[in-house]
Amino acid sequence: MLTFRRSLILAAILALTACATPPQAPVAAPPQSPAPAPGIDWSARANAFRQHMADSGVQVEVLPEGGGLRLTIPAASAFDSGKSQPAPALTQPLRRVADALAAHPALRAHIVGHTDSVGREGYNMLLSRQRARAVRNHLIALGGIEPARLSAEGKGEREPRVDNDSEDNRRLNRRIEIRVTLPR
């Protein structure tokens, strides 16, 4: 009788436990954009870079998340179609970029090549990588920048600024971006 009663109580406890709502896992906060680097006024830094880039065709803007600068060089005049070797027109803008980076030795630069969507995707990816590496190598050759401060990658046609639906838009999408940040 005692065993039956214990079994009945145990069964009741198990039944109640099975019906209980499991504890809720804590909900993680949504990811937030990185906080701006302490002590860096990127707006002031952008103004200094703009002075270096005056009349060079290089656009300078503060990254939306406030963690650096984006320098944009239109690739339409910087490279011949389908080529990764920088055109002579790219020499002056890259000299200005090199001078600005040399004047700010704590900063790092990540060079990103972009193409339009004309041609095969694989070829565009390869071309964008080759162009980014060519810009990196050119900046190193100009002197004053440690190679470890520069990195390069290609995005191909994956990150267009605008739709590739006209020649003008495709021209905007062919570009080199140099993201200037503090080391991590």
| Angle, in degrees to the nearest 10, between helices 42-53 and 91-103 | 140
Is 100 a domain residue? Answer: yes
- pTM of whole model > 0.85? no
The DSSP output letter for 54 is: T
Whether the per-residue pLDDT at 21 is higher than 50: the answer is: no
Is 125 a domain residue? Answer: yes
165-182 pLDDT, tens digit per residue, is 999 999 999 999 999 999
Whether the per-residue pLDDT at 64 is higher than 70: the answer is: yes
Task: Give the CATH number of the domain where residue 82 resides.
Answer: 3.30.1330.60
* Residue that wins the pLDDT comparison between 144 and 16: 144
Number of structural domains found in the chain = 1
Whether the per-residue pLDDT at 45 is higher than 80: the answer is: yes
| Nearby residues of 171 by Cβ (< 8 Å), 6 or more positions away | 74, 76, 116
Is 103 a domain residue? Answer: yes
Report the alpha-carbon distance of residue 98 to residue 20 in Å, rounded: 65
Q: Which residues of 7-16 are buried (b: 16+ CB within 10 A; e: fewer)?
A: eeeeeeeeee
Is 20 a domain residue? Answer: no
Report the alpha-carbon distance of residue 74 to residue 131 in Å, rounded: 12
Is 159 a domain residue? Answer: yes
* Residue that wins the pLDDT comparison between 79 and 129: 129
| Structural domain for 133, as ranges | 46-181
| Nearby residues of 128 by Cβ (< 8 Å), 6 or more positions away | 112, 113, 114, 115, 154, 155, 156
Is 149 a domain residue? Answer: yes
DSSP, collapsed to helix, strand or coil, labels residue 110 as strand
Percentage, residues of the chain above pLDDT 90: 64
Report the alpha-carbon distance of residue 138 to residue 133 in Å, rounded: 8
Is 116 a domain residue? Answer: yes
Is 10 a domain residue? Answer: no
